Amino acid sequence: MGNPTSSPEVVVITGASAGVGRATVREFARRGAHVALIARGRDGLEGARREVEQAGGRALVLPLDVADADAVEQAAETVERELGPIDVWVNNAMVSVFSPVKQMRPEEYRRVTEVTYLGYVYGTLAALRRMLPRDRGFIVQVGSALAYRGIPLQSAYCGAKHAIQGFMDSLHAELIHDRSNVRVTMVQLPAVNTPQFSWVKSRLPREPQPVPPIYEPEVAARAVYWAAHNERRELYVGWPTVKAIVGNKVAPGLGDRYLARNAYDSQQTDEPVSPDRRDNLWEPVPGDHGAHGSFGDRASDASPHLWATTHRGLFALAGVGALLGAAAAKLLLDARERRLDDTQLERFRESGVM
């Protein structure tokens, strides 16, 4: 339900300064969108702005913390005043803490929840206030396989992603009840090579890493763009995401035991944590960190599963073709058998048996 006119699409992206958000900015910009950029770090936002403008679009830099509901609402007003009606709102901003539950602090849970869950809620509310009266628009929640399958050492983040998924179930039903043409979707991601692992708050003895297999942020960005222009309730990105979500539905206890054995080491590199490590839980880490993390040598820039799930129509056509081919083959076999039956009958007649 994008812009019905030929004017450029107006898109809001939170967490736009780095990682998946930054890659998503580039994806929309290269397709001609005007992009409003929301994050706390001005250095990264300015870098994203330059990339949008180099692609020929307009960019609006809005430095703010998505945990501030009033700031998010004011940003939405500014976007519509400066760029026009919002066609797509992408909620992506996040913070996390790598730590065993027993070492977590209440204020850390509160902070992760306010950004990674309530930040999505506030963005959704701001978008709905504008999209519902127009009866059009797309809201995309950037989720994770961890929205369904929690893993050790990331309880705050997993809890926030679970909360978004539950929030979305309620919202889907309400929009259907209201017969609204506003569309909402959630894109569930696998492990992605982003800078967050360099600055996430961590109590682990070794440097954090995404759980292999790892994908480049451009894979996630293509998924987000596709989800913003196609009516899919939920989009699973990558076979690891499918395995995690479906496996948890089938055998969650087995998943618990597997993760207890493997998920501690798989979330850490072999490098000890740097003594001067900085984190972005309360304040952004200065600098423009771009879209990519330091795991490019192990990351894939393509997902055959994503291609397949976003090209279901081709598979449906192939399936129809296969069915038609099988039906034609059956008709030919039936005709051949009928010819054989007629020949045998004639032979019986000629022999005087009949």
pLDDT tens-digit readout, 134-171: 999 999 999 999 999 999 999 999 999 999 999 999 99
What single letter denotes the amino acid at residue 177? H
What count of other Cβ atoms lies within 10 Å of the Cβ of residue 60? 20
Contact of 253 with 336, CB cutoff 8 Å: no
Q: What is the mean pLDDT of residues 262-272?
A: 97
Q: Rounded to whole angstroms, how far apart are CA atoms 225 and 88?
A: 10
Q: Would you call 283 exposed, middle or buried from its count of C-beta atoms within 10 A (0-12, 13-18, 19+)?
A: exposed
Eight-state DSSP code of residue 154: B
The enclosing H or E element of 68 equals none
Encode pLDDT of 122-132 as tens digits. 999 999 999 99
Please say whether the beta carbons of 60 and 78 come within 8 A: yes
In angstroms, the CA 237 to CA 309 distance is 9
Two structure tokens written together for 200: 């996430």
The residue to which tokens 């990558």 are assigned: 238
* Length of the chain in terms of residues written: 354
- pLDDT of amino acid 312: 76
CB 165 within 8 A of CB 141: no
Percentages (nearest 5) of helix, strand, coil residues in the chain: 55, 15, 30
pTM for the full predicted model: 0.87
Say which residues have a Cβ less than 8 Å from residue 197's Cβ, sequence separation at least 6: 207, 208, 209, 210, 293, 294, 295
pLDDT reading at 281 higher than 50: yes
- Homologous superfamily of 10-310: NAD(P)-binding Rossmann-like Domain (3.40.50.720)
* Per-residue model confidence as pLDDT tens digits over 211-249: 999 999 999 999 999 999 999 999 999 999 999 999 999
Residues with a catalytic annotation lie at: 157
For residue 172, the tally of other CB atoms under 10 A from its CB is: 16
Distance (Å) of CA 126 to CA 66, 75, 100: 11, 9, 34
Joined tokens for residue 331 = 């008709």
